[in-house]
Amino acid sequence: MLPLNIRRATEQDVAVLTALVQESGAYQGQYATAISGYQVTPDYIDRNLVFTAVDSTGRSVGFYSLVLDPAELDLAFVSDEAQGMGIGRLLMEHMLDQAGQAGLTQVRVVSNPPAEQFYRRMGAEPVGTVPASPPRVTWVRPELRFTVPRSADGTTLH
């Protein structure tokens, strides 16, 4: 695993985070319409908890966005070339820690179908599906839910 620093994203990160979304292999082919033209904006970063994983060269290799109300993991991306190195796991652990610090007990995930197994391996439980919403999303999406781990005294475990 690469040495990583997970830090809060700033408006200076918008172009890099947008590129991580736009270049994602998970959103090619039939899933491309979901991200067509999508941009991470400074306003989005200001409104949500957006964190980026930065490698030792200063390059962002992944990020996530946690919306607090209602509690939802809105975005989670790891660059294609950095997948399989544990970065996604570190981001999910960090997200659960942030959720716990914010007082959340659960976090909803509406997943791209190819990512469902990743979220399940990270501990998210399937709770249903979300219907297609054409024209951008023409497929049914899995809905999952993370339970934020707590210790006996009610504090987060992460």
Residue 153 confidence class, pLDDT cut points 50, 70, 90: low
**Could you tell me if residue 69 is inside a domain?**
yes
Partners of 78 in beta bridges: 62
User: What is the DSSP secondary structure assignment for residue 99, as one 8-state letter?
Assistant: H
**In Å, how far are 66, 71, 82, 123, 156 from 144, measured between CA atoms?**
14, 12, 24, 10, 20
Which parts of 100-140 are beta strand (E)? 106-110, 125-130
For the chain, what is the domain count? 1
What range defines the domain where residue 67 resides? 4-147
User: pLDDT tens-digit profile of 118-139?
Assistant: 999 999 999 999 999 999 999 9
Q: Is residue 105 part of a domain?
A: yes
Q: pLDDT per residue over 56-99, tens digit each?
A: 999 999 999 999 999 999 999 999 999 999 999 999 999 999 99
Amino acid type, 142: P
For residue 107, being part of any structural domain is answered with yes
Quick check: is 101 in a domain? yes
The answer as to whether 153 is a domain residue is no
Do 91 and 64 contact (CB within 8 A), yes or no? Answer: yes
Average pLDDT, the chain: 93
Residue 154 or 106, more confident = 106
Q: What is the CATH number of the domain that holds 43?
A: 3.40.630.30
The whole-model pTM stands at 0.92
SS3 51: strand
Asked if residue 48 belongs to a domain, the reply is: yes
